[in-house]
Amino acid sequence: MNSLILRTATPLLSGLMLLFSIYVLLRGHNEPGGGFIGGLIGASAFAVYAIAEGLAAARRALVVPPITIAGTGLLLAALSGVISILFGDPFLTGQWWFPSFAPDMKLASTVVLFDVGVYLVVVGAIAGIAFALQGRE
């Protein structure tokens, strides 16, 4: 895409989108938001970047292949369910860790780990599909 406006705005825009996607991901812990919607926003950041800067640049920006990201996310989500075996609880039971130095922190839990896994699956899968569709043309 050979548009000066788009090319100037995109680095800023996709950076902001990525930041926002992580905000939405973490916000989902107690309020509307979460891994799925955050992942969609994150994936669209890379899709926009690919439109403006080209596919090769977008792949470089993602560092690892999208499918590896998706696989890692799936693995994290699966492991977050298995962790509860250490505490004698059923599969997928949420486990929280409230460290003494930060008793109000609610983020050190398997629930967040699961959501991060979902986020990575969605980013990887949707970015992969978007790249594949752009690559065909």
Contacts to other proteins by CB under 8 A: 36, 65, 67-68, 70-72, 74-75, 78-79, 81-82, 85, 88-94, 129
User: Closer to other proteins at the Cβ: 42 or 53?
Assistant: 42
Q: Is 35 helix (H, G, I), strand (E, B) or coil?
A: helix
CA-based nearest residue to 115, from 25, 31, 43: 25
In the complex, least distance from residue 82 CB atom to other proteins, rounded to whole angstroms: 6
In the complex, least distance from residue 119 CB atom to other proteins, rounded to whole angstroms: 14
User: Closer to other proteins at the Cβ: 13 or 94?
Assistant: 94
Q: Report the sign of the C-alpha dihedral through residues 74, 80, 84, 90, in that order.
A: negative
User: Closer to other proteins at the Cβ: 78 or 102?
Assistant: 78
Tokens of 80: 């977050």
Residue 86 DSSP code: G
